[in-house]
Amino acid sequence: MTEPESAALERQYTWDARFSEPVDALVQRYTASVGFDRRMWRQDIRASLAHARMLARQGILSGADLADIERGMATITAEIEAGRFVWSTELEDVHFNIEKRLTALVGDAGKRLHTGRSRNDQVATDIRLYLRDAIDAIRCLLADLQRALVTLAEREAATPMPGFTHLQVAQPVTFGHHMLAYFEMFARDAERLDDCRRRVNRLPLGAAALAGTTYPIDRAAVAAELGFEAIAANSLDAVSDRDFAIEFCAAAALLMTHISRLAEELVLWMNPRIGFVRIADRFCTGSSIMPQKKNPDVPELARGKTGRVTGHLMALLLLMKAQPLAYNKDNQEDKEPLFDTIDTVSDTLRIFADMLASGIRVQAEAMQAALAEGFATATDLADYLVRKGLPFRDAHAVVGSVVKAAEARGVDLSGLSLAELQAFSPRIEEDVFAILAVAGSLAARNHPGGTAPAQVRAAAAAARQRLAAAS
């Protein structure tokens, strides 16, 4: 290095040489991202090493420089793992923090690492690596939750509960069938995450600042080393778009929406007036003033956090809207919503999987009692009359009158005598009582997708196989 060259290096910032006054202190804090992007340090080092190895293979970096960089990065890894690394806001982000430390450790080789690269393609690569790992972890947690649902479905395959429409008792279903409805929602969430992962898994490195680089780089080799399925085909797109993060947040918002539906049901079921389930004390909290209270805080919080995750999706959509090509600093704002989405979804899945696996007790008697009060087998009686030759619309009207009479007498349909029933239709015979019983109603819905216990058991077995095939 010549003397004027080394004078330029005295300065703190990479770009100080071009500036005539130091950056304002508030601006420094305002523009820094190290407080939140340092969690990508492993990805940053991993991508830097892949880049450096490629540069060395291409003859752009010497073997000695590569060895220095590898040695320096090993030291930095150990420092960060041991909590000894000093993160500095003055160094803006995770990338500068690590690069500065590398240079302090190994000298010129550290300064050569950024050859043919920009922070723009570097950060896009880091986020994709980070998100890919996060999706894989979330997929495992989601599978745990799905397994808990299948286990419950197997155990409660024949446990009757009222099925609702408009939150009014509609027809009997089994608790197992109800659990498998959520299994299906989460199975689609898993598919969405898998699909999103394919588009996350493209390599931006090589795009450099925006236009590519003048060095003879080998992007395919870097992609292979980092496990990317392909390179991002256009350099401008590679450094600027964050649609992969938006897609992930959309999948996460839907997943949380499904959790929130389940949460809402748990809250309702915990209400003593309904009492369909009990949630173990370790998932509840009490009140500071009302000694009798046991509150379903976990489902309530999950319901609340769904709004937060959906908000992050909105934040990212609005962040991207109207950004001209290529990279803009706006994109630094992608990380906090994305990271918080990952954290919130992961914690929620972990706690729900645990709660459903071992923290809820089904109260079969309460569900039975609700069924008895709700005329839940009225449709079965109508179907019975249809089988005896009455057109369905007429059967519907006849049963409507039967329900009205039963309601006035304060009994369920099966509480009426045969003679009373026959007053509404002479087609009704002794065999009607098997039809009016909940077990008969359930067993009759015996087709794939139906609530008959045999079908629920078959669906649970198929669900287990699907889980095994996906993992």
Residue 120: CB minimum distance to ligand ARG, A: 5
Amino acid 25 reads: A
User: Smallest gap, in angstroms, from Cβ of residue 234 to ligand ARG?
Assistant: 18
Q: What is the β-pairing status of strands 277-279 and 360-362? A: antiparallel
CB of 48 to ligand ARG, least distance (A): 14
**The length of the chain, given as a count of residues:** 471
Catalytic position from the list 88, 287, 358, 401 = 287
Write down the least CB distance from residue 96 to ligand ARG, Å. 8
Residues in contact with ligand ARG by CB under 6 A are 33, 37, 93, 119-120, 123, 327, 329, 331-332
**Residue 287 annotated to the active site:** yes
Instruction: Give the residue with the Cβ less far from ligand ARG, 327 or 424.
Output: 327
Helix, strand, coil share (%) of the chain residues, nearest 5? 70, 5, 25
Alpha helices in 87-230 (DSSP H): 94-106, 108-112, 119-155, 175-200, 219-226
Choose between 120 and 159: whose C-beta lies nearer to ligand ARG.
120
Torsional class of 397: left (φ above 0), alpha (ψ -120 to 50), beta (otherwise)? alpha
CB 28 to ligand ARG: min, Å: 13
Nearest-CA neighbor of 223 among 297, 125, 299, 363? 125
Pull the structure tokens for residue 43. Answer: 């990805």
The Cα–Cα gap between 452 and 177 comes to 8
Cβ atoms within 10 A of the Cβ of 353, count?
A: 21
In the complex with ligand ARG, the residue whose CB is nearer, 228 or 339, is: 339
Nearer to ligand ARG, 245 or 460 (CB): 245
Catalytic site residue from 6, 20, 166, 471 = 166
Shortest CB 301 distance to ligand ARG, Å: 30
Choice between 93 and 154, CB closer to ligand ARG: 93
Smallest separation, CB 84 to ligand ARG (Å) = 23
Nearest to ligand ARG of 119, 177 (CB atom) = 119
Q: What does the alpha-carbon distance between residue 110 and residue 116 come to, in Å, rounded to a whole number?
A: 14
The least CB distance from residue 88 to ligand ARG, in Å, is 14
Q: Which residues of 307-337 are buried (b: 16+ CB within 10 A; e: fewer)?
A: eebbebbebbeebbeeeeebbeeebbebbeb
Q: By C-beta, is 37 or 247 nearer to ligand ARG?
A: 37
CB-wise, 119 or 219, nearer to ligand ARG?
Answer: 119
Whether the bond between 458 and the residue before it is cis, its omega within 30 degrees of 0, is: no
- For residue 403, give Cα distances in angstroms to 196, 275, 394, 426: 51, 25, 14, 17
Q: Establish whether 166 is a catalytic residue.
A: yes
Contact 170, 164 (CB under 8 A): yes
Q: d(Cα 178, Cα 163) in Å, to the nearest integer?
A: 8
CB 208 within 8 A of CB 235: yes
Residue keyed to tokens 């078959």: 458
Chain centroid offset of residue 140 CA: 11
The residues annotated with a catalytic role in the active site are 166, 287
